[in-house]
């Protein structure tokens, strides 16, 4: 058990470092190639921070552990909202100005509800995977169309400031993108091996390990980028990272994993994990979009509420790991 634990720890450290290099390199490369700051913020940074989830889940599915892939995706969504958004809002209340982010929130809510329908039969098959990836492609196409209309948005300003804080030449950005991608794959293989070995050692499903250790670990790049954005007071970029990442996890990560191998879905995933993920998504939307004339803002009290839900869920899942699901 010591060797798998060391593999998970080393894999997570390398995963976080390589993901940051990959996102910084990809964002700088996109800027050098003339992509608008709004698109970089929405797609490259928002989706790019989910690169760890994608590589880990794809490898897990390819190695016959689709439960780990699904747990990683949904567990990361829970961690993104509860741990990252909750912690960041606790440090500093987040004012939400971006109309783009507010437009993405209902889309996230819709695809979250759709995921329940796809899981209703107990299996997310290849056909469902194709559907999820087609929806992701449609969303990307719509985002590109909207950005080309020249819409000015606070998210674009936040992204521009973020890019200015990490200036790179085209050669350097391409190099870091490639290095980050290679190390992402290598660290993901190490992490998946260790996680599966731990699951077997404790006698629990790979789903539970994916929902806990792996999910939090693959969400660390979002936490690092969100805290960095908070220091620069780029509030819309913080929320944009979380919303974009959760969209990509729900559509892209699950879609790719299901395309590689069909994913059997236990009833408790729908009743426990999906229900909490949906409730936290709804809370995030209500807080961010405002209500009863109140402007969009996630204050410290709301941050505490999100963080409390995450901590309670994590403690419950840890109990399952330690005592076993049947106890």
Question: What CATH code is carried by the domain that includes residue 250?
Answer: 1.20.1420.30
Residues 6+ apart with CB under 8 A from 302: 89, 283, 287
Write down the number of H helices and E strands in the chain: 17, 4
Please give the Cα distance from 213 to 200 (Å, whole number).
Answer: 14
From first to last of its 327 residues, the chain has per-residue pLDDT tens of 789 889 888 988 888 888 888 888 888 888 888 888 777 877 787 777 788 889 889 999 998 888 899 999 999 999 999 999 999 999 888 888 777 677 889 999 999 999 999 998 899 999 999 999 999 999 988 888 877 776 666 777 778 877 887 788 889 999 998 998 898 888 888 888 888 888 888 788 888 888 888 888 888 877 877 887 777 777 777 888 888 889 999 999 999 999 999 999 988 899 999 999 999 999 999 888 766 556 678 899 999 999 999 999 999 988 877 776 554
Distance (Å) of CA 59 to CA 7, 208, 256: 15, 17, 10
- DSSP run (H or E) holding 229: helix 215-231
Evaluate whether 262 touches 125 at the Cβ level (below 8 Å): yes
Number of C-beta neighbours around residue 137 at 10 A: 13
Report phi then psi at 263, rounded to 5. -110, 115
Number of domains in the chain: 1
Domain ranges, residue 234: 2-323
């Amino acid at each position: 058990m010591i060797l798998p634990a060391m593999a998970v720890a080393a894999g997570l450290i390398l995963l976080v470092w390589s993901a940051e290099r990959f996102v910084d390199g990809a964002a700088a490369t996109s800027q050098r190639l003339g992509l608008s700051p709004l698109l970089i913020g929405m797609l490259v940074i928002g989706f790019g921070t989910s690169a760890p989830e994608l590589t880990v889940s794809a490898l897990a599915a390819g190695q016959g552990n689709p439960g780990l892939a699904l747990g990683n995706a949904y567990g990361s969504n829970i961690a993104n909202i509860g741990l990252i958004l909750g912690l960041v809002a606790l440090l500093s209340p987040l004012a939400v100005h971006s109309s783009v982010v507010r437009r993405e929130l209902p889309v996230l809510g819709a695809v979250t509800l759709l995921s329940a329908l796809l899981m209703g039969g107990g299996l997310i098959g290849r056909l469902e995977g194709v559907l999820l990836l087609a929806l992701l492609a449609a969303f990307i196409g719509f985002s590109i169309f909207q950005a080309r209309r020249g819409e000015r948005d606070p998210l674009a300003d936040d992204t521009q400031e973020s890019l200015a804080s990490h200036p790179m030449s085209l050669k350097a950005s391409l190099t870091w993108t490639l290095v980050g991608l290679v190390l992402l794959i290598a660290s993901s293989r190490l992490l998946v091996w260790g996680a599966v070995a731990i699951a077997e050692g404790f006698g629990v499903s790979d789903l539970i390990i994916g929902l806990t250790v792996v999910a939090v670990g693959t969400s660390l790049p979002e936490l690092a980028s969100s805290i960095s954005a908070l220091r620069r007071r780029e509030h819309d970029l913080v929320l944009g990272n979380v919303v974009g990442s959760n969209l990509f996890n729900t559509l892209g990560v699950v879609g790719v994993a299901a395309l590689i191998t069909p994913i059997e879905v236990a009833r408790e995933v729908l009743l426990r994990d999906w229900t909490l993920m949906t409730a936290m998504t709804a809370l995030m939307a209500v807080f961010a979009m405002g209500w009863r004339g109140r402007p969009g803002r996630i204050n410290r009290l709301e941050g505490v509420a999100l963080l409390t839900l995450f901590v309670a869920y994590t403690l419950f899942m840890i109990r399952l790991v330690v005592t076993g699901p049947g106890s």
